[in-house]
């Protein structure tokens, strides 16, 4: 069977600053369907850069990357937005919700942008909000939601996008332990029930038990793997 995500010698050197910085260096990585992989490492070790490479936000400066059978490292820059739309959802520490839109509208907008008609998008939005137990907050603006609730809206949006790869960059960084756990449990459920690949960069050792594998990064390299 094809490996959903396969990176070999994946490397990213930022060359725009006063000195070049190799933020990701010769990374080998396989992701299987249905697993949640944790990315641990000190600040500056390359976690965000690696997620950005996997999510086709950044292009590698070396190595190869195959996403669901497509060699994306070799693709023209102009093709990347389509690849992202088809395969990748992001969840960020800062939630990235539209502040002027309600929880409902934040999810609904994404579905209509994907070309789904109003009525099916409406039903799917309600369904996704129910999935993250936020039906009672559908009409709330982000500023009236707690951190945990905001992150659950972001997860509902990722759920709605229906992509096979979900990348989360310190998703529990702004949450207390109880809410961090709820968020991680939702990501775990997405992986096991829907067969998604989930990669979570985190400092949060309290959710280790919800991870199938842990990759430790240091200076842009994966120095150790735990299963
Ligand atoms: P982490 O998410 O683990 O904190 P990052 O991927 O953000 O690590 O950063 C890895 C290294 O790359 C750091 O040394 C950082 O300063 C550098 N870096 C990150 N983004 C850029 C950029 N846009 N330009 C130059 N250097 C960068
Ligand atoms: Mg980071």
Cβ < 6 A, ligand 1 pocket: 14, 16-17, 21, 23, 41, 43-49
Place of tokens 């609904």: 108
Please write the tens of the pLDDT for every residue from 73-129.
988 889 999 999 899 999 988 888 999 999 999 999 999 988 899 999 999 999 999
* CA proximity to 105, closest of 85, 126, 120, 91: 126
**Is residue 111 within 8 Å of 159, Cβ to Cβ?**
no
Residue 70 Cα, ligand 1 centroid: separation in angstroms? 26
Measured by CA distance, the residue closest to atom 12 of ligand 1 is 23
Q: How far apart are CA 49 and CA 23, in angstroms?
A: 7
Look up the pTM and report it.
0.92
Please write the tens of the pLDDT for every residue from 207-225.
889 999 999 999 999 999 9
Q: Helices (H) and strands (E) in the chain — how many of each?
A: 6, 10
CA dihedral sign of residues 84, 45, 4, 204:
negative
Segment 55-63 shows an average pLDDT of: 94
Q: Which two tokens stand for residue 98?
A: 């539209």
Neighbours of 58 (CB within 10 A): 18
């Amino acid at each position: 069977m094809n490996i959903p995500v396969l990176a070999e010698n994946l490397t990213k050197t930022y060359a725009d600053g006063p000195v070049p910085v190799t933020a990701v260096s010769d990374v080998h990585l396989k992701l299987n369907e249905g697993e949640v992989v944790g990315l641990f490492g000190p600040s500056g070790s390359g976690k965000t850069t690696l997620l950005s490479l996997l999510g086709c936000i950044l292009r590698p400066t070396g190595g190869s990357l195959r996403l669901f059978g497509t060699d994306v490292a070799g693709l023209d820059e102009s093709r990347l937005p389509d690849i992202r739309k088809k395969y990748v959802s992001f969840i960020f520490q800062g939630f990235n919700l539209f502040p002027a839109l309600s929880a409902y509208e934040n999810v609904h907008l994404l579905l209509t942008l994907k070309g789904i008609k109003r009525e099916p998008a409406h039903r799917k939005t309600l369904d996704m909000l129910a999935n993250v137990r936020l039906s009672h907050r559908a009409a709330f603006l982000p500023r009236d939601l707690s951190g945990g609730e905001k992150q659950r809206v972001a997860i509902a949006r990722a759920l709605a996008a229906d992509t096979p790869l979900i990348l989360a960059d310190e998703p529990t960084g702004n949450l207390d332990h109880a809410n961090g756990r709820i968020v991680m449990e939702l990501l775990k459920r997405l992986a096991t029930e829907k067969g998604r690949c989930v990669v979570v960069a985190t400092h949060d050792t309290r959710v280790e038990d919800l991870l199938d594998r842990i990759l430790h990064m240091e200076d842009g390299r994966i120095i150790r793997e735990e299963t």
